[in-house]
Amino acid sequence: MIVGIDLGTTNSLIAYYTEDGPKIIPNRLGKPMTPSVVSIDEEGQIFVGESAMERMLLYPDSGAALFKRSMGSNKKFSLGEKSFTAEELSSFVLRFLKEDAENYLGEPVTEAVISVPAYFNDARRRATKRAGELAGLKVERIISEPTAAAIAYGLWQQKEQARFLVFDLGGGTFDVSILELYDTILEVHAVAGDNFLGGEDFTAVLEKMFYEKFPEINRFSLSEKVCKHIRKQAELCKIGLGESRTSVMKCNINGEEYSFTVEYSDYEEACGELLERIRQPVKRSLKDAHIRLADIDKVVLVGGATKSPVIRRFAGKLFHMIPDTNMNPDETVALGAAIQAAMKERKEGIREVILTDVCPFTLGTEVVREYAEHRFEDGVFLPIIERNTVIPASRTDRLYTVRDNQTKIRVHVLQGESRFAVNNLSLGELFIEVPPGKAGEEAVDVTYTYDINSILEVEVKVVSSGKKIRQVFKDRNLDMSEEEIEERLETLSYLKIHPREKEENKFLLLRGERIYEESLGLKRSQVEQVLRKFERALDSYDPEQIAETKRELIEFLENLDEWE
């Protein structure tokens, strides 16, 4: 079984294809979305999703969130006494989703199509692929989120030629992609975005407004636990502004309650800087695609953050049209990934379509350039395959020696947009020997070939002798061989994944414990009573008693939420 996975910054989803179309697979709590949060207790048990979120409210140092923003880097996240990279934490989320799918479908899930932001570079895409492998999944295809969204919307099934703009604002990343459909080809013309802009940043605006409203609160003196409480209340306030023109943000800090009413107009104004950051990638994508805004036939909104009226209103003004919001923006990418998985399996009823993508960043090399007679500038970046080139693509450039009797040429493989090599991402380097001679007499042809799976092949050929060297480039510091992946899998195997049958119980206990800590007086006493009763039932191992007390606890907590 091949599934489609949206590995999100704030939430992740998994889907599969049925005779009736793509379907989201609910997690073990019966919900479509699993928060991309991981927490580990002192015994090495891993909590993923809502249980991890609840546990982080109690033990802030035990968990991590928003780690997708660090995919492809060496950054370490400390969870208690252990530390992990973003791809390792992502592998826990993917393994959790895989188990949910296997339990729901009743069969093994061996392969996945995983979505990534269109603006992810090679290192980030490879890290996503490795995360899937660490989770026990075969990942042959990484699909860009906007392309997956276009597939989910059925844009590839339309008969007429048309251009679409996919506006994808998730919890932590923003992508804009321009696609064109003709015949059976869905071609991406341009992508742009911001890997550090998403719904979380719009939540942070409300946090900032809260601290400005109450200057006596020194945010730097607050505990991590209190900061997370304020963050949660800001998120609830943001949701409230999606339902009415005003929303109240309430925070309990060291036993004292702080409350203020947020007006929609004030919040919209405070988001001005973030909205301007959205405008820039839109302009860039249109410029790179060499089209005008008037040439766009449809704008599609994707990503949970686009549910905000602030974003929808801004998008309407920006594009001078009402964007298409017919699908649930939280689920669109996962559904599209599931359709792509079905295409890969050649399922009946799926129209064959050729999907093209583009190279999101420029690929080139470092050269020495003559800017005056016998005067040279080194460290200059020479683009070979430019960003937004439709892939697969192959380009060749000829480089010459710059010194008399030079016997070796270095090809420094780089990725980025800066004119200076030092400012771009180094992917590696090749060295090839050339016959000695006068400067400029000897030359090499450098060929870059880049495919849809983010594999870059570099071939260097000496023009005079025909000697060749070739290398497939991967990030030397971040990539892992098959043996290293197996070794890392074995290293991570000591961590105990929490049993499926107890996941909902753990979530309820953590939620109850968190509410207990936030409560006072009679309310706290009532919470303690229902929690003790549930804990005694769990200790009894009596299924009927556990089921009965679980229903009581769920009902109690739901009534508590309604009362609040």
SS3 at position 79:
strand
The string of pLDDT tens digits covering residues 61-93 is 899 999 998 998 889 999 988 899 999 999 999
**In angstroms, rounded to a whole number, what is the distance separating the alpha carbons of residues 289 and 146?**
15
Strand order in the sheet with 468-473: 393-400, 443-450, 456-462, 468-473
Sequence-ordered strand ranges (E) for 226-344: 246-253, 256-263, 298-302
Instruction: Give the angle subtended at the CA of 170 by the CAs of 17 and 306, to the nearest 5°.
Output: 95
Q: Show the tokens assigned to 181.
A: 């459909």
For residue 324, the 8-state DSSP code is B
Peptide bond into 383 cis (omega under 30): no
**SS3 of 556, please?**
helix
Which segments of 320-431 does DSSP mark as H helices, in order? 332-345
Contact 264, 241 (CB under 8 A): yes
Residue 306: other Cβ atoms inside 10 A = 21
Cα–Cα distances (Å) from 496 to 43, 45, 298, 507, in that order, read: 8, 5, 47, 17
* pLDDT at 52 (0 to 100): 94
Please report which helix (H) or strand (E) contains residue 217, including its range. Answer: none
385-416: per-residue pLDDT in tens? 988 887 778 889 999 999 899 999 999 999 98
Longest dimension (CA), the chain: 90
Q: List, as one string, the DSSP characters of 421-475.
A: GGGSEEEEEEEEE----STTT-EEEEEEEE-TTS-EEEEEEETTT--EEEEEE--
- Residue 498 has a pLDDT of 41
* 215: CB partners within 8 A, 6+ apart: none
Classify burial at 415, counting beta carbons within 10 Å of its beta carbon; exposed 0-12, middle 13-18, buried 19 or more.
Answer: buried
Q: Tens place of pLDDT for every residue, the chain, 564 residues?
A: 899 999 999 999 999 999 888 999 999 999 999 999 999 988 888 999 999 999 998 898 899 999 998 998 889 999 988 899 999 999 999 999 999 999 999 999 999 999 998 878 778 888 999 999 999 999 988 888 888 998 888 765 665 678 889 999 998 889 899 988 776 677 788 888 888 899 999 999 999 999 999 999 998 899 988 998 999 999 999 999 988 999 999 999 988 999 999 999 999 999 999 999 999 999 989 988 888 999 999 999 999 999 999 999 999 999 999 998 889 999 999 999 999 898 887 766 565 566 667 787 899 999 998 766 777 788 999 999 988 887 778 889 999 999 899 999 999 999 988 888 998 989 889 999 999 999 999 999 999 988 766 678 899 999 999 999 998 865 443 455 666 656 655 655 545 444 345 778 888 888 888 887 777 778 888 888 898 898 888 876 667 788 888 889 998 988 876 655
SS3 69: helix
The whole-model pTM stands at: 0.74
